[in-house]
Structure 1
Amino acid sequence: MNKNKLINLSSTQILDFMNDGVYVTDRERNILYWNNAAERLVGWASDEIVGRSCFDNLLCHVDKDGHELCGKEHCPLHRAMVTNSSSTVPIIVFAQCKDGTQIPLQVSVAPITDESGAVIGGVETFRDLSLLMKDLKRAKNIQKQSLRLPENNDPRVTFTVHYVPFDVVGGDYYTIEKLDDHRYVFMLADVMGHGIPAALYTMHLHGLWTECRHLFAAPAEFMAEANRKLCNLAEDGDTFATAVFGLIDLDRQQVRFSNAASPPLIVSRKNGGLESFESPGFPLGLMKNMDYEETNISLHPGDSLLCFTDGAIEVRDAEHHELGLSGFMALLKKIGYPDSKSEMEKIEEKLLQYSNSIRFEDDLTMLSIKLTE
């Protein structure tokens, strides 16, 4: 008898017994279904939600990086429908409850297809992440203390960073420090992997930055010493980091840098031209006693220097074509970098549009240094 009762339950009745919130939209992001757990988690009843559009922004969804999601490109459910792919790992989203409070949610999304395979809608499940989020926020605040930019109070130069970790914390590390009235040093590194393990290794990099500061004026020597020390810290050989370290001399209008398998640097000239600069080097933490080369770049007022981790060039489209360096430079030229407003956010959005992913599959960090005219 009980077996027959279960068989006769509809799919929506079964969904109402789930602990996770579930809602379904059509391709235009109109909400068609909202289960009991969704009401329990955020306070909105089904009759208040069903029939509304995500564009109404009733839930005020934002992601961990502060992007507004409802009706926007970064919306995970929208990305699932346009890419016809399901999320493979949970995504952190913040939703506004009916009482005005905000709740962290762990979200999974998937497209809904018809018999022909065409996407006709999407489904999202979500659960409360409040307990874990307290620890993640503490970890984020600790890591944030090691990620430094100088105050933009030098009229000759402007520094901008755009940091999008895969998780709440990530494996990218950046820092810029003023040496004297005319010199700055910078470093951008990418530890293998992402999430909490990679974030812990970035703290090693921060420690190395302090230990090796006596070599700030010699980029190649700094990189060699940082590599040697990181090899001692990561003796298992399972963790390494790509990195670029540079010295900016405003008086000489010059950047001297060394690279440890990080992507090339891109210089946008005042006249609109884009150039890439490479410097060969082995990743940090794999082999001791490696030598590194030093490369010089002339940088004049009106020029911009862009450093970035490989998350910017390893995105793939629906045909699995990698964007690559040339594609990334074409994207920069198309949006008018560095003269367009909010160019870093525009770069991020264009990269996401190019990709065939619901979200970036790696940490993404871009560091821009512009000499003002």
Structure 2
Amino acid sequence: MESQSRTFQDAIIDFLPDATLVIDREGTVIAWNKAMEALTGVPAEAMLGKGNYEYAVPFYGTQKPMLANLIFMSESDIEKRYDSVERSGDTLVVDIFIPDFRPGGTFFWAKASPLYDSKGNVTGAIETIRDITDRKRAEQEIVRSRRSLADIISFLPDATFAIDREGFVITWNRGMEELTGIPAASMIGKGAYEYALPFYQEQRPMLANLILMPEAEVESRYTHVQREGDTLVVDTFIPSLRGRSGRYFWAKASPLYDPEGNVTGAIESIRDITERRELEGRLARSNAELQIAAEIQTSFMPKVIPQIAGFDIAARAVMAKEVGGDFFDVIPFEIIALNKGTLGLLIADVAGKGVPAALFMALSRIVVRVNALWHRDPAKAISDSNNIIAQDAKSGMFVTLFFGTLSEGDRTLTYVNAGHNPPVVFRSRTETLEELLPTGIVLGAFENQEYFSRSLSIGPDDLVVMYTDGVTEAINAEEELFGTDRLTAIIRETARLPAQEILDRILSGVREFSGDMPQFDDITLLVIKGTR
């Protein structure tokens, strides 16, 4: 009987989704489940019987006490040496970060409890470990207290029950009591599918019952059930449960075996995933809306960069999210009565990210474009644009902007810098660098501000590189900034290349510098190169 009980416990431990180990009073490993094998890469055969904290090596790279070992220490010793450990009765709980477990480190939640003999003496300890880096599921605690099957299941966070070979309930845990409102005392020993009544209002097979059916019958009658080895998994919708509207559930069932390997029953865990399903639906709708917004925003950007004699022009925007606040524009002035061979060039960065920044970007682009086509003087165009944008900037948003008119007639760029990152100018004859500093404040902050226009000539092989702060403020794994020095170094190295190749080299330089770090900000570049 004890062997069968122990086998049940081993089956349950291996069934657990969380990594679990058990040590005896001397600190020797007596259980190391499949989830622990998957988490550490160490098979149970290589760990069972090991002591001297060897089971800590896969986690810390060194032999040191695990949470289970603290179970054997006095309460005062634990409180004095391990202030991050919380005690709940005779159970210890801790959240911990292990920096070297995987690249970038891993957060774990761990829980340890003592094991007792029939006389109440502590004979060992059990520890459950959960990777909570991606999912914080602290409520799904797996608490282990005693060696009996019922005690183990009782502490599982998911609603769980077990049936014997004849379909009678042998375990009905606390999670199942909370989910169904039916206490274990009222369900233990029930058969004839009575345990399905709380879910379906009729007596019908549950997933655990399918474990006891022939595989061919399950596959022919229950096409929505997935099989993973000897385990069955299903997502299902139940229209009504305890008077509540329809709920989505995830369920998993596995067989229980006796010492000879015969199936003696089945265990099923049930999880309410309604909130997750609803969130997935909202995310799907949101992603679709973002995709539409991204396509609209992309349509704002010129697909083909107009060119004029004497200049080679390239531009590109790389958004950190689906939509963003950076933008550029190339405005051909031939549509109005201005000198032919003139382009309006614009690069801008809205303070903020995501949809709000994209909406503010759309407003700013339209306002500046209209005023740029109306006024010959860039300073006047930006001044009028600022007044319009400031009137509508109720949320405190603003935009930095560099706007200029490029003329093929006299090879000049007449510009206004409204608080934007100073573009870099490279002079090919002297190989010197200069910056086009601000000539006014950001747009949208205050009305009736003064802006000044300045001009510079662009000779053959001279460069003007306009950029947003997503370039210079890109960071690497050491949290270093890309900075202007790296940018100007690339400009010097590539100054003889065409404008598009210079732009591509700057972008690849930023990507190589950042490595695996995510792009935190939009990146926009506009390059003007004088030609002969």
Name the TM tier (shorter chain).
0.5 to 0.7
Q: Map of 1:210-229 to 2, 5 A cutoff? A: 210-229=369-388
Query: Quick one: distance in 2 between partners of 1:150 and 1:339?
Result: 16
The residue matched to 2:300 in structure 1 has which SS? coil
How has the CA–CA distance of structure 1 residues 269 and 12 changed in structure 2, closer, same or farther, with 3 Å as cutoff?
farther
TM-score by length of 1: 0.63
Query: Quick one: distance in 2 between partners of 1:267 and 1:361?
Result: 26
Q: Map of 1:1-373 to 2, 5 A cutoff? A: 5=12, 9=16, 11=18, 114=100, 131-148=285-302, 151-152=305-306, 154-180=308-334, 181-236=340-395, 238-271=396-429, 272-336=431-495, 338-339=497-498, 342-355=501-514, 358-373=517-532
> How far apart are 1:301 and its partner, in Å?
2.5
Letter in 1 for 2:16: L
Is the CA contact 2:503–2:526 (under 8 Å) kept in the aligned structure 1? no
How has the CA–CA distance of structure 1 residues 357 and 227 changed in structure 2, closer, same or farther, with 3 Å as cutoff?
farther
Query: Quick one: distance in 1 between partners of 2:301 and 2:13?
Result: 55
Query: Quick one: distance in 1 between partners of 2:99 and 2:12?
Result: 28
> How far apart are 1:174 and its partner, in Å?
1.2
Letter in 2 for 1:287: F
> How far apart are 1:351 and its partner, in Å?
1.5
Higher relative contact order (CA 8 A, sep 6+): 1
Q: Give CA deviations for 1:292-314 in whole Å, capped at 9, x if unaligned.
A: 12221110132222111111112
Is the CA contact 1:241–1:283 (under 8 Å) kept in the aligned structure 2? yes
Percent identity at matched positions? 22
Q: Which has the higher helix share?
A: 2
Query: Quick one: distance in 2 between partners of 1:261 and 1:338?
Result: 29
TM-score by length of 2: 0.46
Is the CA contact 1:171–1:190 (under 8 Å) kept in the aligned structure 2? yes
- Residues paired across the two proteins, number: 278
> How far apart are 1:286 and its partner, in Å?
0.7
> How far apart are 1:342 and its partner, in Å?
3.3
- Bigger Rg, which one: 2
Is the CA contact 2:313–2:500 (under 8 Å) kept in the aligned structure 1? no
The residue matched to 1:231 in structure 2 has which SS? helix
For the aligned residue pairs, the C-alpha RMSD in angstroms reads: 3.8
Letter in 1 for 2:289: D
After TM superposition, the structure 1 stretch with the greater mean CA deviation from structure 2, 336-345 or 292-301, is 336-345
- Structure 1 gaps of 5+ residues are 18-22, 25-31, 33-110
> How far apart are 1:150 and its partner, in Å?
5.5
> How far apart are 1:212 and its partner, in Å?
1.2
How has the CA–CA distance of structure 1 residues 135 and 3 changed in structure 2, closer, same or farther, with 3 Å as cutoff?
farther
> How far apart are 1:234 and its partner, in Å?
1.0
> How far apart are 1:201 and its partner, in Å?
0.8
Q: Give CA deviations for 1:82-114 in whole Å, capped at 9, x if unaligned.
A: xxxxxxxxxxxxxxxxxxxxxxxxxxxxx9953
- Structure 2 gaps of 5+ residues are 1-7, 21-33, 42-96, 107-130, 136-279, 335-339
The residue matched to 1:354 in structure 2 has which SS? helix
Q: Give CA deviations for 1:163-193 in whole Å, capped at 9, x if unaligned.
A: 1111111111211112142211111111111
Query: Quick one: distance in 2 between partners of 1:339 and 1:151?
Result: 14
How has the CA–CA distance of structure 1 residues 125 and 118 changed in structure 2, closer, same or farther, with 3 Å as cutoff?
closer
Query: Quick one: distance in 2 between partners of 1:196 and 1:131?
Result: 15
How has the CA–CA distance of structure 1 residues 232 and 4 changed in structure 2, closer, same or farther, with 3 Å as cutoff?
farther
